[in-house]
Amino acid sequence: MRSLSEIRQEFVRLSYEIFADTDTLEDIEKFASRYVDADSLVAVWDESGIVSQIVVIRFEYHRDSIPAAYLCYGATRDADRGRGLYGEIMDATFKKLREEGVGVTFIIPASDSLKAYYIERFGFEDNCTSSLPDKPLSKRLDNKPCLKNYEIDIPFHTNP
């Protein structure tokens, strides 16, 4: 079991590596201290730390109190891109959120190309919302298992 300190430290490291051009280290650390814990971070780890991640922030949507989730800080280490790791954590996240009764997810892509990626690969709508798909959506071009030599943490709780 990883400590909260280790989880946050690794989150900050990867997030700053990927988002340094848009987010300051101080902003990432503040976000981590407020939102990142074992219940919110879905991550793929190897011996060096987190290689792919997404943060899941749960909330009630609209007046109908629809269980919802905001997905943010999705990233994969440059050296590990193209292996299907992010698709695996998105599939695992969607599966777990469905089990928790979450009905809709939201994202705010940083660019039009990322928006297109989320629409094409994960079924998000043009307004960046998604009802949770009932089947895996990740696509591997070579059909090889992508988690060999990796460990996936899907530690968030089962009660929203």
Domain range annotation of the chain: 4-153
Measured CA to CA, the distance from residue 63 to residue 128 in angstroms comes to 20
pLDDT in tens, 62-104: 766 788 889 999 999 999 999 889 998 998 888 888 888 888 8
**One-letter amino acid for residue 92 of the chain:** A
pLDDT confidence of 31, banded at 50, 70, 90?
A: very high
Which pair of structure tokens corresponds to residue 40? Answer: 């919110």
How confident is the model at residue 77, as a pLDDT?
Answer: 95
Mean pLDDT of all residues belonging to the chain: 81
List the strands of the sheet with 151-153, edge to edge: 129-131, 104-106, 66-76, 49-61, 41-46, 151-153
Residue 3 CB partners (closer than 8 Å, separation 6+): none
How confident is the model at residue 140, as a pLDDT?
Answer: 39
Measured CA to CA, the distance from residue 5 to residue 109 in angstroms comes to 27
**One-letter amino acid for residue 63 of the chain:** R
**One-letter amino acid for residue 10 of the chain:** E
pLDDT in tens, 108-140: 888 889 888 888 888 888 777 766 555 444 443
As a CATH number, domain 4-153 is 3.40.630.30
Length of the chain: 160
How confident is the model at residue 144, as a pLDDT?
Answer: 40
